[in-house]
Structure 1
Amino acid sequence: MAGRPKIYDETAILDKAVEVFWEKGYANATADDLLHAMGIGKGSFYFAFKGGKEELFRKSMERVVELNFKAIRDALTTCADPVQFIKDFFLSLTGNESPVGNKGCYFGNALIQVSADDAGLKMIAAKYLHLLEEIFTEAVQKGKDLGLLQTQEPAAALGTYLVNLWNGINVTRRMEPDQRKLADLVRMNLKILD
């Protein structure tokens, strides 16, 4: 027997779960919140996610990486000026059209919101932030190789610096509504890439 057929699109329900987790956080997202947003019943949920909410959150983190980090890496790989791309990317976080909005970083939020009892989820979130750091490091190295950066700072140190800026701006954006101040802050932090 092949089991019950799927009557839903797994990527569509994962996208709905991402919205709930991003809005409410892992701990505050209830099963009812998730089931309602995903539009599936308990039976279908546990059939698809045998590990329950924890498995769903793991898969939601994979989905965020698939949707966002791959696009960033692809854009950086094909662009002529990775340094300018990084600057534009960070400045985009300060405006109304920010890809993150006021919700913060999915993985940064997880590191803060997931309890110590769920250390495995924290480790996964940290792993994905390290992946973002790796993407920034590759972009910086490409900028150095193209002669676009004169700094003597190692690419890896700048990658760490940029992931720290990513985490910081995602928190600061929540407390500072003045987009001009945020943009000035980002520009000041990005002077290291001049």
Structure 2
Amino acid sequence: MTNLQFDDKGLIPVIVQHALTREVLTLAYMNEEAYTKTVETKETWFFSRSRQELWHKGETSGNTQQVVSIRTDCDSDALVVEVLPKGPACHTGEETCFHTILEKFDETVGYNVVTSLINIIEERQKNMPEGAYTTYLFEKGVDKICKKVGEESAEVIIASKNNDGEELKWEAADLLYHLLVLLQNQHVSFYDLLQVLKKRHETKADKK
């Protein structure tokens, strides 16, 4: 912390980012005490400029944020804190404080596609809109969903055996979709799955 550059009010801006989805959750500020408490407790603490006091994120709501890493920029005057949130980051109940879209160009790139698909599947299970294929799968239950996962897995294998890259990408996309539906049906978070992969990678790296 000795190298961090706090401003003339003793504060440093903090970008809080979801460690798995990479989504920016909020922008807050820390003073030295908040930074120290964050490191000690491995949960986010900030300094409220409006109330002029220290606050522990989630202390009253329960929506705490487990800190995974803390990074600073090249000038050491701003922080990125990667977290695993236990609930919405915004006081409005939204997952992120940055939920108001001013301009929208192309969000369907990279990881955002998977995140968006997960959100849609969760919404389908919650509201069960009539006529939606995902609703149909949830209505039929685990046996039907597992059958579709098996069928799509077979299609992926066939496409691979045929060395058909074009067919493979479409069948793999179908498999991923049905797998995400299965995970949602079984109340298993996709992000927990990523944590398992991460732990396996770290375990193998430690053995080298």
Larger radius of gyration between Structure 1 and Structure 2:
2
The alignment's TM-score, normalised by the length of structure 2, stands at 0.27
Identify the structure with bigger relative contact order (alpha carbons < 8 Å, sequence gap 6+). Answer: 1
